[in-house]
Structure 1
Amino acid sequence: MANYQNILFENKEGIAHLTINRPDKLNALNIQTIEDIKVAFEEIYDDATIKGVVITGAGEKAFVAGADISEIAELNELNARKFAESGQEVFSAIENCHKPVVALVNGFALGGGCELAMACHMRVATANARFGQPEVNLGVIPGYGGTQRLTQLIGKAKSFELCMTGDMINANQALTLGLLNYVLDTQTEAIAKCEEILNKVISKAPVAIGLVIDCINAVSNEQENGYQTEANGFAACTKTADFAEGTTAFLEKRKPEFKGE
C-alpha cells in the first residue's frame, strides 16, 4: 500500500474507505491530495480484494470545502489548464471505475468537493451537508467537471443558477434535485447506509456491474452511442460464467454464487 500524505486509506472486508484527511483545512483539495486520490484509485483498480469504495472527509465540518485557494491564486492561463485537466483525469478515473463508488458527504461539499462527490456513482449525505459551486466568487468557474456533472444530475436551469450565483443548497434540497441518493441524520447512520448499498451491489455479478457503469456513463458521452454500448454489454455478459450461474440459479430457485468470471 502506498504512503499517503493527505488521505487515509483502508480496506475493510472488501470495501475501501478513502478519507480526505486535512481537517484543519476543511479537507481542501490541494495538488498533493489530488495525487493521493489518483494513486489510491490505481490501487483500487488493481486490487481484486477491493469490491467497492466509500469516499468521505475527516471530521464533522467538511467532506471537502473546495480547492486550496493558496494554490489557485498562483495559477495563470497556461498552468491553470493543466491544473483543471489533471483533476478531471482523476475524477474521470473515479467515475469510470468498474467497482461501485459511494460518496459519504458530511458537512461542506463545495467547489472541488462537490465535484468529487458528483464523480462518484452514488451519494449519501448527513443532514448537515451543504453543496455548492461557488467558484464565481473567486472570479473563476468550476474546473474539475462541475459544470458538466451538475447539469447531468440536476438539469440546466438549476445548474445555471448554482454556478452563476455561487449559492449553497442544503442536504434536503440536494436530495429533491436528484443530487443525492439518501440523507441520514448522523455520520454513523450514513456510513451504515453506504456499506448497506455497497454490500448489496457487491453481491451481484461483478462483470455486469462494471458494464452497468459503462452504459450509464455513456449517456453523457456525445461520442458514444449509449444504446449500442448497452447492446454490446448485454452480449458480453452472456459469455461469462456469472451469466450461466445467474440463470441456472434462478431456474433452480437458489441464490447465485458469482465469481466475477
Structure 2
Amino acid sequence: MSYNNILIEKENGLAQLTINRPKKLNALNRETLEEIHNAFAELESDENVKIIVLTGSGEKAFVAGADISEFADYSIAEGKNLAAKGQEEVFDRIANFHKPVIAAINGFALGGGLELAMAAHFRIASDNAKMGLPETSLGVIPGYGGTQRLPQLVGKGRAMEMIMTAGMIDAKQALQYGLVNHVTPAEELMEFTTKTAQKIMRNSMVAIGKAIEAINANDEDGVNGFDKEIENFGKSFGTEDFKEGTTAFLEKRKADFPGK
C-alpha cells in the first residue's frame, strides 16, 4: 500500500512508521490519521513484523500537533465526531495493539503528537525533545486521549498543571515525570530504540501480546485486571512458545520461539 504522509520501513522484524510531513512539522491531518489507521492494519497482518516504532521525519518534530486549519470552523457535533473517530481508529488501536509499539520522540511532541506518543506502549526521547498539551491555549481540550493517558503516566497533579498551563516540558523533565522511559542524544535515538526493540524480540511475542492485553485491562472500566492476568497466564500454557521457553530453560539453552 502506498501512502502520501507516512513512510514504512521493515527490516529484521522491526517496522518503522514515520510521519512524513516535515514542512508542517508532521502535524496530523485527517488524511494522515487515516493512513496511520491503514498502516496498522497492514502491520497487524504482516507476520514478519514483530515490533513497530513510531517517529517523525526531520530533526525538529515527532509530531507538532493536529492540523488546526482543518477543524477551526467545526461545529460541536463535528468536533465530537473528530475526537471519537480519531480515538477509535488510531489512538486506542495503537494502545491496544497486540504487537509492541515504541514511540521514538525526536523534537516537538505537542497536542495530538504527544497523544500519539502516549498511545504507544512506551516512549524514548531525544535530548532535544519538547512535550506538551497546548490545547487549552486554543480554547479546546485534548481530544485524542490526552486527559486520560497523561494522568496515568505522570500523575493527576502534574497532568492538571501541564494541561492547564498549556506549557511544554523538556526531555529531562519528561524522564523525571515518567512520561518517557529513556532519553538519548538526538543522533543516537534510532540506534538506541532499535537495540531496545531487539531485546524485546528475543522473548516470546505471543506472551508479550497477552501481557499487553493484561496490563491495559487495568485501565478498562468494569474489567478486573487481575482476572485478565489469570486468564492470559492460563492461556499461555497452551502455546508452542511456552513449550519452547520452558524446554529451553530446562535444557540450559536460548529459546527459539516459534511465535505460536
Task: After TM superposition, list the pairs within 5 Å mapping 1:19-168 onto structure 2.
Answer: 19-89=18-88, 90-168=90-168
Q: Secondary structure at the match of 2:220?
A: coil
CA displacement 1:145-182 (0-9 Å, x = unmatched): 00100011011000000011101000000000000010
- Structure 1 unaligned spans of 5+: none
Q: Displacement, 1:88? A: 0.6
- Identical aligned residues as a percent: 53
Per the normalisation by structure 2, the TM-score is 0.98
Q: Secondary structure at the match of 1:221?
A: coil
Q: Displacement, 1:72? A: 2.1
Cα contact 1:206–1:259 (8 A) shared by 2: no
Q: Secondary structure at the match of 2:208?
A: helix
Q: In the alignment, what sits opposite 1:241?
A: 240
Partners in 1 of 2:136 and 2:150 — Cα distance?
15
Q: In the alignment, what sits opposite 1:170?
A: 170
**Count of aligned residue pairs for this structure pair:** 259
Q: Secondary structure at the match of 2:254?
A: coil
Q: Secondary structure at the match of 2:52?
A: strand
- Deviating above 4 A after TM superposition, structure 1's stretches of 4 or more consecutive aligned residues are none
CA displacement 1:170-227 (0-9 Å, x = unmatched): 00000000000100012x3111111111111111111100011001111211221000
Partners in 1 of 2:2 and 2:48 — Cα distance?
19
* AA matched with 2:251: E
Cα contact 1:112–1:142 (8 A) shared by 2: yes
Q: Displacement, 1:13? A: 1.9
Partners in 2 of 1:219 and 1:164 — Cα distance?
27
- Structure 2 unaligned spans of 5+: none
* AA matched with 1:140: V
**Alignment RMSD (CA, Å):** 0.8
Partners in 2 of 1:110 and 1:119 — Cα distance?
13
* AA matched with 2:171: A
* AA matched with 1:153: L
Partners in 1 of 2:71 and 2:171 — Cα distance?
27
Q: In the alignment, what sits opposite 1:227?
A: 226
Task: After TM superposition, list the pairs within 5 Å mapping 1:147-226 onto structure 2.
Answer: 147-186=147-186, 188-226=187-225
Cα contact 1:92–1:119 (8 A) shared by 2: yes
